[in-house]
């Protein structure tokens, strides 16, 4: 017997889980083809089946179908995820995953043409008992959307949420009968509150005219510590000021986020890191950090990274004033002077 055959099945299952944890895109069913023992271990390890992708696209070249035997049927694997294009496939995936927490990736490209199966799966993911099991969820609504966000939804164990609404299409990805440069996304968020008591990390990319819900606040996300937002200059970013009360890290991509940033500074006493990328100017943000008494704003702030297209001659005096106000507090203060042709990084702390 080869030595690896002497490893207990439980330990072998843990080894497979660690391999998948290091690279979430690992196709675990490749190991099932090695021998009958490995196949049986993989089929009986629910955590290896806890990653689902829900999509309305036909399966592409990166998807592979596997026959799991008479009792288990077939399964499509795409990038290490179980690909579900129908309600029956979702039921089978949930059965394989047992009661383990789920990672769910939802990609809707042609939801204006969505089948009944896609709409049914969408609704089920936002209701118990499935919503009680989702630990990480990525929602990408990238086509003309007729899907609604259900109101009053509770995700008790959800710790990470990524939401992307809209894209600019290219010829290779263009949606039928659509302007190739049109931005897509849902019409609105639900007015009634979602409850996300365990959420610690939120990543949000919105189209320009999508209004953010007023319930994005500490009451619905009391443990939110990391917020990353990609906005363009017209995005309203109407977050409640209480959203920032427990926030430790804020990353924002936007042209003119001055009001949003100033609100974060004034209502985020626990902020430790602010990273601002692709900002048009940055002067208003630096002025707010440099006025007398500004060291009382975000007293724990130790990391500031600012990428801007403003004039170095205009902004550098403000940078010096910030350093004077926060002397001894900043561990990292970088300004990236960005132009069309090049970038220059200046480190001040």
pLDDT tens, position by position, 238-254? 566 667 788 899 998 87
DSSP conformational letter for 121: H
**This prediction's pTM:** 0.81
Q: What is the pLDDT of residue 68?
A: 64
The whole-number pLDDT of residue 213 equals 61
Q: How confident is the model at residue 122 (pLDDT cuts 50, 70, 90)?
A: confident
What the block records as the tokens of 201 is 């990390």
C-alpha 64/C-alpha 33 separation (Å) is 13
Q: Which residue has the higher pLDDT, 330 or 135?
A: 135
**Residue 31: predicted pLDDT:** 81
Q: What integer pLDDT is reported at residue 23 of this predicted model?
A: 77
Q: Is residue 175 predicted with pLDDT exceeding 50?
A: no
pLDDT band at 192 (very low <50, low <70, confident <90, very high): low
Which residues have a Cβ under 8 Å from the Cβ of 178 and sit 6 or more positions away? Answer: 143, 144, 169, 184
CA-CA distance, 92 to 94, in Å (whole number)?
5
Q: Within a 10 A sphere around the Cβ of 171, how many other Cβ atoms?
A: 6
- Tell me: the pLDDT tens digits for 131-166? 999 999 998 877 666 667 777 788 999 999 998 876
Tokens of 280: 């048009």
Task: Give the per-residue pLDDT at 177.
Answer: 41
Residue with the bigger pLDDT between 146 and 318: it is: 318
**CA-CA-CA-CA dihedral for 211, 215, 221, 224, to nearest 10:** 40
At residue 134, the pLDDT reads: 95
The winner for highest mean pLDDT among 1-5, 31-35, 204-208 is 31-35
pLDDT at 169 over 50: no
pLDDT at 258: 67
pLDDT of amino acid 135: 95
Q: What percent of the chain has pLDDT over 70?
A: 70
Q: Could you identify the residue written with the tokens 């959420």?
A: 199
For 216-229, the pLDDT digits (tens) are 666 788 889 999 88
Average pLDDT, the chain: 76
Taking only the tens place, the pLDDT of each residue in 25-74 is 777 777 887 888 888 888 888 888 888 888 776 555 556 666 666 555 66
The pLDDT of residue 7: 86
3-class SS string, 254-318: CCCCHHHHHHHHHHCCCCCEEEEEEECCCHHHHHHHHCCCHHHCCCCCCEEEEEECCCHHHHHHH
Residue 24 CB contacts under 8 Å (≥ 6 apart), including other chains: 51, 80, 103
What is the rounded average pLDDT of the residues 293-310? 82
pLDDT higher than threshold 60 for residue 208:
no
């Amino acid at each position: 017997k080869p030595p690896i055959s002497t490893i207990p099945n439980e330990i072998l299952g843990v080894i497979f889980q660690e391999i998948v944890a290091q690279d979430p895109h690992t196709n675990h069913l490749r190991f099932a083809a090695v021998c009958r023992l490995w196949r049986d271990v993989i089929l009986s390890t629910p955590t290896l089946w806890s990653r689902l992708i829900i999509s309305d696209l036909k399966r592409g070249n990166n998807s592979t179908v596997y026959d799991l035997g008479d009792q288990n049927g077939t399964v499509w694997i795409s990038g290490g995820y179980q690909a579900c294009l129908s309600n029956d496939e979702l039921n089978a995936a949930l059965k394989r995953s047992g009661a383990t927490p789920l990672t769910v990736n939802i990609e809707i490209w042609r939801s204006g043409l969505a089948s009944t199966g896609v709409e049914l799966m969408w609704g089920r993911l936002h209701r118990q008992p499935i919503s009680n099991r989702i630990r990480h969820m990525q929602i990408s609504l990238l086509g003309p959307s007729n899907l609604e966000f259900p109101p009053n939804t509770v995700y008790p164990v959800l710790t990470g949420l990524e939401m992307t609404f809209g894209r600019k299409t290219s010829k290779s990805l263009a949606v039928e009968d659509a302007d190739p440069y049109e931005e897509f996304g849902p019409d609105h968020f639900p007015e009634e509150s979602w409850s996300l008591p365990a959420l610690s990390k939120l990543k949000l990319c919105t189209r320009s005219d999508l209004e953010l819900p007023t319930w994005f606040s500490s009451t619905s996300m009391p443990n939110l510590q990391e917020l990353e937002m990609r906005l363009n200059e017209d995005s309203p970013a109407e977050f409640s000021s209480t959203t920032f009360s427990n926030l430790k890290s804020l990353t924002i991509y936007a042209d003119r986020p001055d009001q949003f940033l100033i609100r974060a500074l004034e209502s985020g006493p626990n902020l430790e890191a602010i990273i601002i990328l692709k900002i048009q100017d940055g002067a208003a943000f630096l002025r707010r950090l440099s006025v007398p008494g500004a060291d009382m704003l975000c007293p724990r702030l130790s990391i500031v990274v600012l990428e801007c297209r403003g004039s170095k001659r205009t902004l550098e005096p403000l940078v010096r004033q910030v350093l004077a106000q926060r002397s001894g507090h900043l561990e990292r203060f970088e300004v990236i002077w960005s132009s069309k042709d090049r970038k220059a990084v200046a480190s001040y702390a």
